[in-house]
Chains A and B, each alone.
Chain A
């Protein structure tokens, strides 16, 4: 088509794709920016505490008109606005960084599959083409949409604060306030949902390669055709439904109610609790996506071992037993999820004058539940890194033996090498970072909440620190989770090189054998 409008659309779309590609590759920089915002916010929280001490001292001596008092209250208004907006946006950027690391992993997995298929096509063994499902095609866009919506929520919150202090029309404050948190919820739904769907895409690619590739290698070496089994049937649809449910709860319950709130007064705390049910559901599904990835990483090694055994006619030892830490993943995920949901439901049922004087414990309760799920996610990520290391040990030897078998050479010895203590391969320092983040988040919850209840004089001072301390703790958890994914990127990229080269070598010698 020669229409100028069409050409402009094509150039725009190309430009967006190039920009996206550049952004995805810079996920480490994005993580640093997010972490910086969260750390700076923590110090802003400390500043608020010191400023609050000044305000209370001046109020205590009856001074509410001096320049010092007015200055302190003005500082509090600005810092309050900052603390409302920036930590959450920083956490959003951290989630985006995690999401882009997952995109990089998916790109490597897809590239592995495409490279293997291109090689297999040379000897007419290419598996049939399949169209990726909707979630695999849109999850990257959901991540970008999520951060853009959060950016809009930030601008609306700035507008809300400006209206509160009469910089702009104060009548707009109510409208801004109604939409700020729901939009934040929509952004969070897309970001966390995008991460979960990215993990689902990893499961899809990994399971396909783990099931189909070993059979093709055996077919090249021995001529024996095997049916790989139905990959689609083995895909965990219930986990996918749980992810979608979490996204819908987090996002859609808030926007329609926001429009209703334009006409009917509804208490504000309802928003956060509803959102937490959705977030808890999505995090729970993420824990189960990670468990499924672990399952397919093990299956990949088992199937590759069988392929070597059948191709080379040698005995291949079984792989190691499951790691002990893996069994804690579902336990922590279930406990954390139920804990989070229970406190969120309490918050929904008793929104005003919450559960007597213990109302301030609801928010800490939800945060502790969320942190518990993250501890389970951390164990899952450690197990994944161990499995990827063991895969890296196995792949070169496995391909060498299959190639030797294709060439008709004698093959001896098992592929790869065993490791006495697989847990020694786990990146424990990264998990230590998650634990540290969990401790900081916990310190920002129960201790400060208890101060609020037990020492009323310190109520406001404790209040000033809660949000930014919890944000710092959760930010550290996100950061170390992102470092886990960064480590995984390296291994998946190495795996791509080994599998691509290995399959190409097998195909080369098979073709040579066919031609002689």
Chain B
């Protein structure tokens, strides 16, 4: 998975969004348990990227998530919530921080819709949602 994420992070700008979108669509279509493992693997691999690549990668990741259908987005969010139990606390915290920072770049309406979806996903997963700083 690390090489997978490195390949996506190093992709030419023109194709990066499309590649990441296709990849997370593929994950969204996976069975539940496999999806959780893929999301967990992705978060762990992203945490190992160079600091200067992390921020931009998260930005493109959120853009890709925003472009998914509501069902695909919800499936990914639920998997991310369920993956918390298997992620190291510092990795989860850093990933959450980057996600929230990326979401804040969007207009308020979109931010609210995204956070509402995330709230619902955490409720379905039975996990308390972290606060947005």
Residues of A within 8 A of B (CB): 389, 392-393, 396-397, 399-400, 403-404, 416-417, 419, 424-425, 489-491, 493-494, 497-498, 501-502, 504-505, 508-509
Contact = CB atoms under 8 A, between A and B. Distances in A.
A494 B26 CA distance: 14
Contacts of A392: 7, 11, 19
A28 to B, nearest CB: 14
A497 B1 contact: yes
Contact of B34 (A417, A489, A490, A501): A501
B23 interface: yes
Contacts of B102: none
Contacts of A397: 22, 25-26
Contacts of B127: none
Given A501-B26, A508-B31, 9 more contacts: A396-B26, A400-B29, A489-B3, A493-B2, A498-B4, A502-B26, A505-B26, A505-B34, A508-B34
Nearest to A390: B15
B19 A393 contact: yes
A175 B56 CA distance: 63
B30 interface: yes
Given A498-B4, A501-B38, A505-B31, A396 B12 contact: no
Given A393-B19, A396-B25, A396-B26, A504 B34 contact: yes
Nearest to B6: A490
Interface in B27-71: 27, 29-31, 34, 38
Interface SS, B side: helix
Given A393-B18, A425-B12, A505-B31, A491 B7 contact: yes
B7 A400 contact: no
Interface residues of B, number: 23
Interface of B: 1-4, 6-8, 10-12, 15, 18-19, 22-23, 25-27, 29-31, 34, 38
Contacts of A416: 22
Contacts of B30: 501, 505, 508
Contact of B3 (A396, A494, A509): A494
Contact of A404 (B15, B29, B34): B29
Contact of A494 (B4, B31, B34): B4
A403 B29 contact: yes
A403 B27 CA distance: 11
A508 B25 CA distance: 17
A505 B29 contact: yes
A402 to B, nearest CB: 10
A389 B8 CA distance: 10
7 shortest interchain CB distances as A-B pairs: A493-B3, A396-B22, A396-B26, A494-B4, A494-B7, A497-B4, A508-B31
A424 B12 contact: yes
Contacts of B27: 501
Given A493-B3, A497-B1, A505-B31, A399 B26 contact: yes
